[in-house]
Amino acid sequence: MVLALAKEIAMRKIESDNEIETIYFGGGTPSVLSNEEINFLISEVYKNYKVVENPEITLEANPDDLSAERIWELSKSPINRLSIGIQSFYEEDLKMMNRAHNSAEAIKCLQEATKYFDNISLDLIYGIPGMSDEMWKQNIETALSFGIPHISSYALTVEPRTALSKLIQTGKIAEPQDEAASSHFMILVDTLQKNGFIHYELSNFGKENYFSKNNSAYWLGKKYIGIGPSAHSYDGEKRGWNIANNSLYLKSIQNNELPIETEILTISDRYNEYIMTGLRTIWGVSLDRIENEFGLEYLNYLKKQSQKFLNDDLLSIENNILKPTPKGKFLTDGIASDLFYLNLEE
């Protein structure tokens, strides 16, 4: 698999003439890679692409993958940022979500990681059934006690055909409630902002100079190349996704074929994506960009659709930038869907 990834990196170098700003080892369990394999893949990126002087190089991992020895080993590699899937510091939450790690492992992992890494992000889940506001505050305080500079936090979603879905169907646990999730979200925003975090994207909070460059690239519409099974790519005009099957992926690469499907984005697709991502960030949606890139028809449509949200103090316009108000932040995705343009003739 590692050799196939390296080959795909080389096969796709013609797709990029920009400097690479960020390298992200994510999806699945990249922490199973040895330092030798990590170093090899990063060297292949440098061999085939122009790379900025100090790129952000992130490894995504779960606490059960990050022993003290493994964290020390990673600190000797080019990895300079860890994204750790903590989710909760409560044992009952981790069991309910079927996580492989326990609360003690989560704490031990962060104690070790902060010895060697300055740039660490952790994930927390809110809206968990049975989690009181006080418990949620304690989860946030525990995270802050480690001096972590970046936190990503998401509402619990129940995927079909999962253990969690089965527990809810059989009445063993309650269904997640929007009211609890909304309350937790407001506590999260308030607590983190008081502790010097900038709420730069709906689910992401970073201290100054610690925003995720990788994730910011998605929200700002920058181009990216995804390598490996299931990986997604975007070049500004079309979106691509690699085949999800490992053996078919390996076979295609061995045959010098890219196992990728692509979709050309229409002007409406690109407008809708900009609305969706722009409203989620502190950068908002530029009305000037809407007019310049998509035309007056889209601008007028956006102004018309936005009016009810402006009247209800859920959106605001300042310096020709459309953004959610503090009151509208939790409702951002629903608001965005009302601003989508679905029926323009392409």
| 58-80 pLDDT per residue, tens | 999 999 999 999 999 999 999 99
Q: Per-residue pLDDT for 113 more than 50?
A: yes
- Determine the Cα–Cα distance for residues 95 and 263; give it in Å rounded to an integer: 39
Q: Is 52 helix (H, G, I), strand (E, B) or coil?
A: strand
CA distance 189 to 323: 16
Is residue 243 within 8 A of residue 229, CB to CB? The reply is yes
Q: Tell me the H-state helices in 150-266.
A: 163-169, 178-194, 213-219, 246-254
Which range among 28-42, 106-120, 309-323 shows the weakest confidence by mean pLDDT?
28-42
DSSP-assigned letter for residue 314 = S
159: which 2 tokens? 């995927």
pLDDT of residue 331: 92
Which residue, 274, 277, 146, 106, is CA-closest to 204? 277
> Global pTM?
0.90
Q: Give the end-to-end CA distance of the chain in Å, rounded to a whole number.
A: 40
Tokens (6 digits) for 59? 């490894």
The structural domains of the chain, ordered by start, are: 19-219 (3.20.20.70), 267-339 (1.10.10.920)
pLDDT digits (tens, 9 = 90+) for 184-239: 999 999 999 999 999 999 999 999 999 999 989 888 889 999 999 999 999 988 99
Buried b (16+ CB within 10 A) or exposed e, 77-93: bbbbbbbbbbbbbbeeb
pLDDT tens digits for range 123-163: 999 998 888 999 999 999 999 999 999 999 998 875 666 55
202-215: pLDDT as tens digits: 999 999 999 999 98
Residue 162: predicted pLDDT: 58
Residues 6+ apart with CB under 8 A from 162: 98
Q: Are 22 and 58 in contact (CB under 8 A)?
A: yes
Percentage of the chain with pLDDT > 70?
A: 93
Over residues 301-312, mean pLDDT: 97
Q: Buried b / exposed e across 300-324, counting CB within 10 Å, b at 16+?
A: ebbeeebeebeeeebbbeeeebbbb
pLDDT digits (tens, 9 = 90+) for 264-285: 999 999 999 999 999 999 999 9
Amino acid identity of 271?
Answer: Y
- Could you tell me if residue 146 is left (phi over 0), alpha (psi between -120 and 50 degrees) or otherwise beta? alpha
Residue 173 has pLDDT above 90, yes or no: no
